[in-house]
């Protein structure tokens, strides 16, 4: 007797952490994982607009790969010159709360980064990047 799992059950069972992304990557399905994550991420992590934007043209995916946090360029933060500058007090309150929920880098979804003008720009996961930095972590997992 075989058991079929419908798509809703598959999504419910899918873990959106680095280990899950690594497994999907080994199966050559990292792009599929990215879209499932962006459409169904838990804890306010869904970003359907980003998923739709990524589908507009052919993409070449790599990862998850471990990178130094300092090798990544966040797009969101409090420093002038960032693509999206946010209020310092709200930013630190948010990343502090987030940091308190972190247990290990592998338990988090990889950051989604884009190679842009010689830099790895964080396109999804800017608050996670900030929280990891606040915790003193030196590296994280990314999907490029």
C-alpha to C-alpha distance for 76 and 70, rounded to whole angstroms: 15
Model pLDDT for residues 14-53, shown as the tens digit of each residue:
578 999 999 999 999 999 999 999 988 665 567 888 888 8
Q: Where are the domains of the chain?
A: 7-143
Percent helix, percent strand, percent coil in the chain, to nearest 5: 45, 20, 40
Q: Name the nearest CA neighbour of 38 among 9, 10, 11, 65.
A: 11
Please give the biggest Cα pair distance in the chain. Answer: 60
- pTM of the model as a whole: 0.85
Model pLDDT for residues 85-138, shown as the tens digit of each residue:
999 999 999 999 999 999 999 999 999 999 988 999 999 999 999 999 999 999
Q: Judge whether 131 and 99 are in contact, CB under 8 Å.
A: yes
Residue 4 has pLDDT above 60, yes or no: no
Q: Judge whether 21 and 38 are in contact, CB under 8 Å.
A: no
Residue 1 has pLDDT above 60, yes or no: no
C-alpha to C-alpha distance for 112 and 64, rounded to whole angstroms: 9
- Residue 142, classed as helix, strand or coil, is strand
pLDDT given at position 5 = 40
């Amino acid at each position: 007797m075989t058991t079929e799992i419908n798509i809703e059950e598959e999504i419910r069972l899918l873990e959106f952490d680095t280990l899950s992304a690594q497994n999907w990557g080994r199966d050559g399905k990292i792009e599929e994982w990215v879209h499932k994550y962006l459409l169904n991420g838990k804890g306010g992590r869904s970003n359907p607009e980003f998923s739709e934007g990524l589908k507009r043209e052919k993409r070449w995916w790599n990862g998850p790969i471990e990178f130094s946090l300092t090798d990544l360029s966040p797009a969101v933060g409090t420093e002038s010159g960032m693509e999206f500058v946010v209020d310092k007090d709200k930013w630190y309150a948010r990343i502090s709360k987030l940091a308190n929920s972190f247990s290990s880098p592998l338990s988090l979804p990889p950051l989604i980064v884009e190679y842009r003008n010689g830099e790895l720009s964080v396109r999804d996961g800017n608050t996670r990047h900030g929280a990891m930095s606040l915790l003193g972590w030196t590296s994280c997992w990314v999907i490029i």
